[in-house]
Amino acid sequence: MENKLLTANAIIPQYDRSKLVPRIVHLGFGAFHRAHQAVYTDILAQEHGSDWGYCEVNLIGGEQQIADLRQQDNLYSVAEMSADAWQCRVVGVVKKALHAQVDGLEAVFDAMTQPEVAIVSLTVTEKGYCHAPATGTLLLDHPLIAHDLANPHQPQSAPGVIVEALARRKAAGLPAFSVMSCDNMPENGHVTHHVVTAYADAIDPELGAWIKAKVTFPSTMVDRIVPAVTPETLAQVAQATGVADPAAVACEPFRQWVIEDNFVAGRPAWEKAGAELVADVLPYEEMKLRMLNGSHSFLAYLGYLAGYQHISDCMQDENYRRAAHALMLQEQAPTLKVTSVDLGKYADSLIARYTNPALRHRTWQIAMDGSQKLPQRWLDSIRWHLAHGSSFRLLALGVAGWMRYVGGVDEQGEKIEVSDPLLPAIQQAVASSQEGEARVQALLGLNTIFGEDLPANEQFVKQVTEAYLAVREYGAKNTVAG
């Protein structure tokens, strides 16, 4: 790809890539990481002479991504899509790319035990943490964790791989690295700390104590809308850059990264590329999870049921637009602790971002893994409203929309392809219950999602049941309009 680079219609690496040091091992070389953290690091190399590079690792799935990346000298392009123009950048900060199942775990551990490694970062989605979203506890009976506890030197899960790499560093007398989650969870650093140390304690309490003393787990808030890559996207990127790139990714122009400044072995100066380094990320995380991700999920379930394929299609419907805005400001904003942000302006900016017609962000994609997303996007806010005696009508409607969606049949009687790590339990709840009130009761019985408190709360059950019956009788579009 180096010779193609010269003709690419894009910002291309002007720095000496041979001088990059892979001090960051990143687990989860998905579209979001490519369009977000790697771009910040690339800007640092391009504009500030930074020598921080990446070793990219996929543990499960994504074999083709790694193969495509290697095929083109670890280069790939990022296209920022706005309604009027596409701007492309070729990212050059990847030094090495590995797949645990193709290259073998030893190659991954070799990369993670290099003395220069200072950070292991993750974008493995919420389900990759093998925890119960309602409580944040590590699921010791999770199939991957159960496998790793029996085979700690041949782990499959992200927590298992991180702990084995740290165990090897400790044994070799090497310093620890920081573990930085870039996934959408409140206090993602605390969640990561909890699952990693709980797993380490279960296999070796002495190692667990060493990790607690030596490793930091900075929390982060990440924000950029990155739709799943489609053949159509790749064709458009190739047209824009003049180079066919199967590892390319497209995203919106907006990007934000708030990072807790808590690293044991150094970090890149990401603030020079626009990141915010702060002492406490939680208020920003909650704002983004509840206002952006919470309204996204609301539009995903109720939009999909109404036949809207993309978020921008939902925005063409005045009722959906108003409902998303009201959800943000009337039901999510009051629950937040953030003080330095004008939430009215933030809500308006989100609606504008959702309306971007160049972003073909599928409602089906956002609807995936709902069991992992509901607790932090909606249920924590609902608990706040129950404690404060305030209204949560739209949040209840969102939960009802999710329940209709996971029923597996849309309003036209077509099958919905539901994708969720708790799918067997969800399908059992659906299959064993009558449509209607009994269906709501059955799904509320999934305590890894709803906990023990919400299903026991009369007001919560009543509001969700009423919303569910309305969606069932009048359809999603009419219920949102009402």
- Give per-residue pLDDT as tens, 333-346: 999 999 989 999 99
Please indicate, yes or no, whether residues 123 and 74 belong to a single structural domain of this protein: yes
Q: What is the CATH number of the domain that holds 223?
A: 3.40.50.720
pLDDT in tens, 132-144: 988 889 999 999 9
Please indicate, yes or no, whether residues 41 and 21 belong to a single structural domain of this protein: yes
Please indicate, yes or no, whether residues 311 and 247 belong to a single structural domain of this protein: no
Q: Of the residues 230, 248, 278, which one is the last residue of a structural domain?
A: 278
Stronger pLDDT, 252 or 9, i.e. the higher one: 252
Q: Are 47 and 3 in contact (CB under 8 A)?
A: no
Provide the domain limits for residue 216.
Answer: 2-278
Q: What is the CATH number of the domain that holds 340?
A: 1.10.1040.10
Count, residues in the chain: 482
Q: Of the residues 278, 299, 320, which one is the last residue of a structural domain?
A: 278
Please indicate, yes or no, whether residues 88 and 228 belong to a single structural domain of this protein: yes
Q: Number of C-alpha atoms within 13 angstroms, CB side, residue 52?
A: 25
- Single-letter amino acid code for the residue at 185: M
Q: Of the residues 217, 243, 278, which one is the last residue of a structural domain?
A: 278
Please indicate, yes or no, whether residues 71 and 217 belong to a single structural domain of this protein: yes
Please indicate, yes or no, whether residues 220 and 287 belong to a single structural domain of this protein: no
Specify the DSSP class assigned to residue 185: S
Q: How many domains is the chain built from?
A: 2
Please indicate, yes or no, whether residues 258 and 317 belong to a single structural domain of this protein: no
Q: Is residue 5 over pLDDT 90? A: no
Q: Is residue 6 over pLDDT 80? A: no
Say how far apart CA 30 and CA 24 lie, in whole Å.
16
Say how far apart CA 188 and CA 274 lie, in whole Å.
21
Say how far apart CA 316 and CA 49 lie, in whole Å.
44
Within 175-247, residue ranges assigned H as helices are: 188-203, 205-214, 231-241
Quote the percentage of the chain above a pLDDT of 70: 98
Please indicate, yes or no, whether residues 334 and 274 belong to a single structural domain of this protein: no
Of 117, 100, 219, the residue nearest 154 (C-alpha): 100
Averaged over 195-216, what is the pLDDT? 98
Of 389, 183, 362, the residue nearest 288 (C-alpha): 183
- Give the predicted TM-score (pTM) of the model: 0.91
Please indicate, yes or no, whether residues 315 and 215 belong to a single structural domain of this protein: no
Please indicate, yes or no, whether residues 406 and 314 belong to a single structural domain of this protein: yes
Please indicate, yes or no, whether residues 321 and 255 belong to a single structural domain of this protein: no
Within 316-418, residue ranges assigned H as helices are: 318-326, 343-355, 363-367, 370-374, 380-388, 393-406
Please indicate, yes or no, whether residues 134 and 147 belong to a single structural domain of this protein: yes
